Structure 1
């Protein structure tokens, strides 16, 4: 369980294990997108959410409800933050890496919302259970995706 919850021990890297987990999520997302596109990333994110919920509940049943080494939640949140990249690249018929600004903004914004914990992110985090551990990163990923979409709209003159 520790291996899965820590993303095969990446969560034990220091400093900032959450950032390491988010960084590791990027090439994993690229592999998934390359193998099956957005329509593979989407269901795998849901599957990983439930795997993360189960493993997190198993490793946290005694003691700390959100140990820093548990980073499977960062992978789920980071993948959600990258949904606009996966969908946008598929819709435009371009290589996923051609949307590199979306990868960068998705990563930075996800980390920002995950650390800052505004509104629903903080509310989920305060649950104090495995579901809260997973949901705070889901919300951080959603917020990062929405802001990335808005930034792309401004960059391309759509929202001006």
Structure 2
């Protein structure tokens, strides 16, 4: 029961179509709430804790099954999406900066994460092919890192090159 609540993020994973996209979308207000209430460090700690809990929940939910990554497991999407949002939330942690001003970054983080999670290039695909609970979590972590790098590059392009 607890593993299913964690793995499906309170049932979000049962939404159709595209439960992974629903999981990523659910990650946005969750990240915002944690960020507003407790700041970036709390979100980073929660991300690590959710990774560990998601790894455990995925192992529990897939034990004895041939499908190592059922679509209703979306905790991995939440962790990956939080990683994609990390550059924005870190900058938004600065005193006096309204995080809503950075709304284009939120959109970029969401789109880039979904792109890398679906496309599964290079290391993302490698992690997915592991065929175990750790691989389920790692492919989204890596997709989140790729998306975070993309967010940083896009911000640099917009605020640096295009701002001139």
User: What's the TM-score bracket when you normalise by the shorter of the two chains?
Assistant: over 0.9
Find the aligned partners of 1:92 and 1:36 in 2 and give their Cα distance. 13
Tell which deviates more after alignment, 150-159 or 140-149: 150-159
Q: Which string of whole-angstrom CA distances, capped at 9 and with x for unpartnered residues, describes residues 56-93 of structure 1?
A: 00000121100000000000000000001111112374
* Structure-2-length-normalised TM-score: 0.94
Find the aligned partners of 1:59 and 1:47 in 2 and give their Cα distance. 18
Corresponding residue SS for 2:72: coil
Corresponding residue SS for 1:94: coil
Matched with 1:84 is 87
Matched with 1:107 is 110
Cα shift at 1:4: 1.4
Count of equivalent residues: 160
Counterpart check, 1:12 vs 2:14: yes
Corresponding residue SS for 1:115: helix
Find the aligned partners of 2:161 and 2:142 in 1 and give their Cα distance. 25
Counterpart check, 1:43 vs 2:25: no
Counterpart check, 1:97 vs 2:103: no
Matched with 1:72 is 75
Corresponding residue SS for 2:97: coil
Structure 1: gaps of 5 or more residues: none
Change (3 A) 1:126 1:12: same
| 4+ residue runs over 4 A deviation | none
Find the aligned partners of 2:124 and 2:95 in 1 and give their Cα distance. 31
User: Aligned-pair RMSD on alpha carbons?
Assistant: 1.3
2:119 to 108, 116, 119: 116
Q: Which string of whole-angstrom CA distances, capped at 9 and with x for unpartnered residues, describes residues 33-58 of structure 1?
A: 00111111111100000000000000
Change (3 A) 1:112 1:24: same
Corresponding residue SS for 2:94: helix
Cα shift at 1:142: 0.2
Corresponding residue SS for 2:160: coil
